[in-house]
Amino acid sequence: MREARGAPRFRLRVSGSQPAILAALREIPGVIDATPAEAESYGVETAAERLSAPDLARAIVARGFALSELVEVKPDLERIFLDLTRGSSAIDANAA
């Protein structure tokens, strides 16, 4: 089940210019993708086992941004099911 969780995802609330924040987030080692969400919020997907929440917080603050919230977003059951079935479909296709 732990493998099914996939890459950790975080929601951050950061003050500043959206393009600058997105560029800074995307250049942090271990960040796979960063996308804007609601006002001053960003979704960040990280590589599994590569970047912890405290490391992410330090990296964004070190780049001069004001971080006011960082929350790990837990995947819902539907996401886990889709990830599991997508993985088994790829394995089945490779075995054929």
Domain carrying residue 22: 3-95
* pLDDT for the residue numbered 1: 41
Higher pLDDT, 52 or 6: 52
Higher pLDDT, 81 or 11: 11
* pLDDT for the residue numbered 2: 44
What mean pLDDT, rounded, does the chain reach?
Answer: 83
Q: pTM (2 decimals)? A: 0.70
Instruction: Let me know the angle formed at the C-alpha of 20 by 48 and 23, rounded to the nearest 5 degrees.
Output: 35
Tens digit of each residue's pLDDT (9 = 90 or more) over 3-48: 445 678 999 999 999 999 999 999 999 999 999 988 889 999 998 7
* pLDDT for the residue numbered 3: 46
CATH of the domain at 53: 3.30.70.100
Token pair recorded at residue 68: 């006011």
Distances from the Cα of 63 to the Cα of 19, 23, 59, angstroms = 14, 11, 6
What is the domain count for the chain? 1
Higher pLDDT, 94 or 8: 8
